């Protein structure tokens, strides 16, 4: 990357040398850093796993609707909005502590304290009887997600400097593997170990009430663990002083937001942003609605969590296997292949949801045969393999094109675009699935069961509200068609983007000399 340095009245040119993308990764000397990154991403995954388990608890409550699920999905939005405060995380820090540790230590201490707070109030947030207070639940978990998304900004930025430059592709492996481990603990333990039915069936010799642990106990343990890990990192892990490097540039808050704006003006980023904001539409109904439809059809939440638990080993090992393919110069080629297969795999979920009631019910009584579980596991397993292949490939591409001088801001921008694509598509498909579903009362064709009063009237008259048009299938068709169009448009575009020169993803900085009455001033210009 070529930049200009103003010296006196002369304008001199100098070149910032970037590591060639052909440099081969070598983990010698980086193993401890790999472990630390895995640990940080794992504790991040705890909160994400707990948040992902809440919709399963809600779906088991007959008083909760799909609109309520759509409202709760808003708790994921801090991951989408974190771009607003990412420049602050890059700009403010205490040099003696470290650029990333200055934020990591207080944020993780607060996260641990917040887990302890949630533990005291979890019975009110998720009551055993009656409808949960959705608004309060959203508020509490929105704050929790805000904290963990800030931690994500910090760790993503630190990964670019903690690892050697030729090993940054492994940051995506640390991210996906750590999140998989943390999510497994956060979702599976909170769902299964607190379930009376699961514990009596698999973990106890004598039936008893409740699970082997309570949600309060789990949250207390996680809160203490957050605080303990943070203390150890604060004491023993030293952060590399990037200010000693020749290409290091320290920006103030305004300059960081200016940087963000100029990154957004890069032509390559603009094209990539459109792709990230729209790609998830093709899978939105499959990823967000299908699991809830399985529970509606009669598959218990405990069965769903057991199946998900059996897949976590694949989630943990898969990033390690595909890292060799994503650490190279063309990770988006793998991403595109997985995208096309996943679009085709939508058909498997349509068939699964359609035949599930017929396969697991006999005379209206749920009796799930063993072969159904085999089918369910195979379909979900292939889906997870595709999900993680796309995720690892995408993160590897982020790590490769992000400028390590402004890693927190750059990585957060890219992650935010992807998260925004997921958040808005999830909110829409959950919010309109009921609008696309049409029902009528079995005894009164004029009663469309569109309101709770009409449903109660139908039931009082001895009838049932029968689904005549299932909105889930309409969504699946629309999403798949959109996904195929997306693939045909962006296939060659993304392949071309990954072959662009690294300078096409960077912005230039002009540094003015220091005088008595001035400080370092950086003017940002697009490459």
Please report the pLDDT score of residue 273 as a whole number.
Answer: 93
Residue 284 pLDDT more than 70?
Answer: yes
Q: CA–CA separation, 8 vs 484, rounded Å?
A: 57
The count of residues in the chain is 527
**Are 199 and 272 in the same domain?**
no
**Are 235 and 314 in the same domain?**
no
**Are 236 and 360 in the same domain?**
no
Check: CB of residue 447 under 8 Å from CB of residue 441. yes
**Are 409 and 473 in the same domain?**
yes
Residue 90 belongs to domain spanning: 29-248
Residue 31 pLDDT more than 90?
Answer: no
101-105, 143-147, 412-416, 457-461: segment of lowest average pLDDT: 457-461
DSSP state of 450: -
Mean pLDDT of the region 389-409: 79
Helix H or strand E segment including 441? strand 438-441
Cα 56 to chain centroid, rounded: 17
**Are 139 and 173 in the same domain?**
yes
41-45, 88-92, 252-256, 486-490: segment of lowest average pLDDT: 252-256
Q: CA–CA separation, 523 vs 148, rounded Å?
A: 32
Give per-residue burial for 468-505: e unless 16+ CB within 10 Å, then b. eebbbbbbbebbbebbeebbeebeeebeebbeeeeeeb
Q: Which of 371-380, 405-414, 446-455 has the highest mean pLDDT?
A: 371-380
Query: Left if phi > 0, otherwise alpha if psi is -120 to 50, otherwise beta: which for 241?
Result: beta
Give the model confidence (pLDDT) of 231-256 as tens digits. Answer: 999 998 888 765 555 455 566 677 77
Q: What are phi and psi of 240, to 5 degrees?
A: -65, 135
Residue 520 pLDDT more than 60?
Answer: no
**Are 168 and 303 in the same domain?**
no
Residue 287 pLDDT more than 80?
Answer: yes
Q: CA–CA separation, 492 vs 177, rounded Å?
A: 29
Please report the pLDDT score of residue 328 as a whole number.
Answer: 65
307 C-beta neighbours (distance < 10 Å), count: 16
Q: CA–CA separation, 41 vs 47, rounded Å?
A: 11
**Are 271 and 235 in the same domain?**
no
Check: CB of residue 429 under 8 Å from CB of residue 289. yes
**Are 235 and 276 in the same domain?**
no
Exposed, middle or buried by CB within 10 Å (0-12, 13-18, 19+), for 527? middle
- Take residue 178 and report the two structure tokens written for it: 């750590």
**Are 307 and 375 in the same domain?**
yes
Higher pLDDT, 235 or 24: 235
How would you classify the pairing of strands 507-511 and 361-362?
Answer: unpaired
Mean pLDDT of the region 406-433: 84
Give the model confidence (pLDDT) of 372-387 as tens digits. Answer: 989 999 999 899 889 8
Higher pLDDT, 461 or 242: 461
Q: Mean pLDDT, the chain, as a whole number? A: 81
Give the model confidence (pLDDT) of 57-84 as tens digits. Answer: 887 776 777 788 888 888 988 877 887 8
Exposed, middle or buried by CB within 10 Å (0-12, 13-18, 19+), for 237? middle
- Take residue 8 and report the two structure tokens written for it: 């006196």
Residue 430 located in a structural domain: yes
Query: Given the structure tokens 């397993």, which residue do they identify?
Result: 381
Give the model confidence (pLDDT) of 110-147 as tens digits. Answer: 999 988 988 888 888 888 777 888 888 899 899 989 99
Residue 260 located in a structural domain: no
**Are 73 and 179 in the same domain?**
yes
Domain harbouring 421, CATH code: 1.20.1250
Total domains in the fold of the chain = 2
Domain harbouring 210, CATH code: 1.20.1250.20
């Amino acid at each position: 990357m070529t930049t200009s340095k103003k010296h006196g009245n002369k304008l001199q040119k100098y070149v910032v040398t970037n590591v060639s993308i052909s440099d081969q990764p070598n983990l010698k000397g980086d193993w401890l850093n790999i472990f630390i990154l895995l640990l940080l991403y794992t504790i991040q995954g705890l909160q994400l796993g707990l948040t992902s388990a809440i919709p399963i608890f809600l779906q088991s409550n007959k008083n909760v609707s799909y609109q309520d699920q759509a409202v709760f999905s808003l708790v994921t939005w801090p991951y989408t909005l974190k771009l607003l405060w990412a420049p602050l995380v890059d700009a403010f820090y205490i040099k003696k502590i470290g650029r990333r540790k200055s934020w990591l230590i207080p944020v993780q201490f607060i996260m641990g304290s917040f887990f302890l707070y949630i533990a005291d109030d979890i019975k009110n947030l998720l009551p055993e009887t009656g409808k949960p207070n959705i608004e309060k639940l959203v508020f509490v978990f929105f704050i929790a997600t805000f904290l963990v998304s800030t931690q994500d900004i910090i760790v993503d930025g630190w990964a670019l400097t903690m690892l050697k430059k030729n090993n940054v592709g492994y940051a995506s492996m640390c991210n996906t593997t750590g999140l998989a481990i943390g999510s497994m603990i956060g979702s599976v333990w909170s769902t299964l170990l607190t379930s009376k039915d699961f514990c009596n069936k698999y973990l106890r010799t004598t039936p008893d009430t409740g699970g082997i642990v309570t949600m309060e106990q789990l949250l207390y343990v996680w809160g203490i663990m957050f605080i303990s890990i943070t203390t150890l990192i604060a004491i023993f892990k030293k952060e590399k002083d990037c200010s000693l490097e020749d290409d290091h540039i320290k920006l103030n808050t305004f300059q960081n937001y200016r940087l963000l704006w100029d990154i957004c003006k890069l032509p390559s980023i603009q094209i990539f942003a459109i792709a990230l904001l729209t790609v998830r539409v093709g899978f939105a109904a499959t990823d967000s609605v299908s699991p809830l439809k399985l529970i509606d059809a009669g598959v218990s939440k405990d069965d769903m969590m057991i199946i998900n638990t059996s897949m976590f080993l694949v989630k943990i090992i898969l990033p390690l296997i595909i890292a060799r393919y994503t650490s190279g110069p063309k990770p988006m080629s793998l991403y595109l292949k997985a995208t096309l297969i996943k679009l085709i795999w939508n058909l498997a979920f349509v068939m699964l949801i359609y035949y599930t009631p017929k396969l697991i019910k006999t005379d209206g009584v749920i009796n799930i045969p063993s072969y159904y579980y085999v089918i369910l596991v195979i379909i979900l397993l292939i889906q997870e393999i595709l999900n993680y292949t796309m995720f690892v490939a995408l993160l590897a591409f982020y790590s490769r094109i992000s400028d390590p001088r402004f890693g927190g801001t750059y990585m957060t921008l890219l992650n935010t675009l992807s998260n925004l694509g997921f958040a808005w598509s999830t909110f829409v498909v959950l919010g309109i699935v009921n609008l696309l579903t049409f029902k009528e009362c079995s005894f009164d064709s004029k009663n469309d069961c569109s309101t709770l009063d009409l449903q109660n009237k139908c039931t009082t008259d001895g009838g049932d509200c029968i689904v005549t048009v299932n909105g889930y299938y309409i969504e699946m068709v629309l999403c798949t068609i959109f996904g195929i169009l997306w693939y045909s448009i962006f296939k060659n575009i993304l392949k071309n983007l990954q072959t662009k020169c690294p300078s096409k993803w960077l912005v230039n900085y002009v540094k003015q000399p220091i005088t008595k009455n001035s400080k370092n001033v950086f003017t940002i210009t697009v490459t």
